[in-house]
Amino acid sequence: MKYLILSLFFFSISIAGEKPRARDLGIPFDGASGPLNAITDVAGVEVGHTTLISGTGKLVQGKGPVRTGVTAILPRGDKSLDDPSFAGWYSLNGNGEMTGTTWVEESGFLEGPVMITNTHSVGIVRDAVISWRVSQDAADASGYWWSLPVVAETWDGLLNDINGFHIKEDHAHNAIRNARGGPVTEGNVGGGTGMVCHSFKGGIGTSSRIVTIEKTKYTLGVLVQANYGDRKNLTIAGVPVGKEITDLMPRDSYEQEHEGDGSIIVIVATDAPLVAHQLKRLARRVPMGVGKVGGYGHDGSGDIFIAFSTANSNVAFAERKVAVEMLPNWMISPLFEATVQAVEEAIINTLVAAETLDGINDNKVYALPHDRLQAVMKKYNR
């Protein structure tokens, strides 16, 4: 089986620069973004993708068509292995999976990368992260070592041969190896390759915010894998876009019958000095951003979020008492607001970046048309 395999790292810089984003179309957003308007505005955070696209026509299980991939988020770049980050997670609706979160909840730390893929490739990606860590000498000769990777998923079976198990260990390794800072490619890429959002083409999106707390500037960034929502509820900058653009529905009877089911995975990163319980509070604000775009957590949706801080390095494995810096709770409300704002914009960036894609059995999901979106926004004086 031959795939078009795109391992996106430096190549992503040129692609990300060429595609219009929501702000380029005149969509108004609250809050000040970072220079990249991406999760990588948080210093040290790196993102990598591996994208698999091959085949057309009728589904032949194990052969294709293939429309899937893997996305890797490294909290501290190449130091992510040795320096866990304070973290917290939250699930709005749990019809989904994010492995490793039991230990995140217990320990308060995220160890290693966060990976996102399709529903039936969680296992292989989890195992691949462990084998990658072993290859990086994480395990010592005593054998007293374990790893509980964080791997999240959304379902791409509308377009992808999801039961063909096309994601392999090397695909996950490539996403990790190719992770870089800088612009982040959005849309039909990585884990988001085959995803659907509000019955338009979905996928990967990102955004960031700069906030000032007690005269100190902090950065907060998010990355989403958006695969949720029905058309009628799609709202962009307060405008009922889904009620205005009612055609261009996915060409597939299953999607029409189950519209709204799906999932969204959100990763929140910040350089603000927050500890685990505060990061859980941050993750609990993610649904407000999802709700602003029209998501409300269907029964069939897996809406799972994790937040981490890049502050307080070298504390998780300290051999003696260490000092930990944290903002007091009364100071962190601006970060709550920034989370809501960045999640909203990241989802809309997903919709703007994604392109029309066909897949198994000639199923087809259409991109949100930019010209019609702009016309609708103008109609509502936005």
Q: Which residues are catalytic?
A: 263, 301, 303
CB atoms under 10 Å from CB of 1, counted, come to 11
Q: H/E element holding 135?
A: helix 122-135
Ordered DSSP codes for 264-282: EEEEEEE-S---HHHHHHH
Owner of token pair 């290859």: 135
The two three-digit tokens of residue 5, written as one number? 């395999």
Ordered DSSP codes for 50-111: EEEEE--SS-BTTTB-EEEEEEEEETTGGGTTTS-EEEEEEEEEESS-BTTHHHHHHHSEE-
Distance of CA 327 to the CA centre of its chain: 26
Nearest 5 degrees, angle CA 75-CA 83-CA 303?
40
Owner of token pair 């509820």: 233
**Alpha-carbon span 346 to 27, nearest angstrom:** 12
Ordered DSSP codes for 23-57: GGGT---SS---SS-SGGGSTT-EEEEEEEEE--S
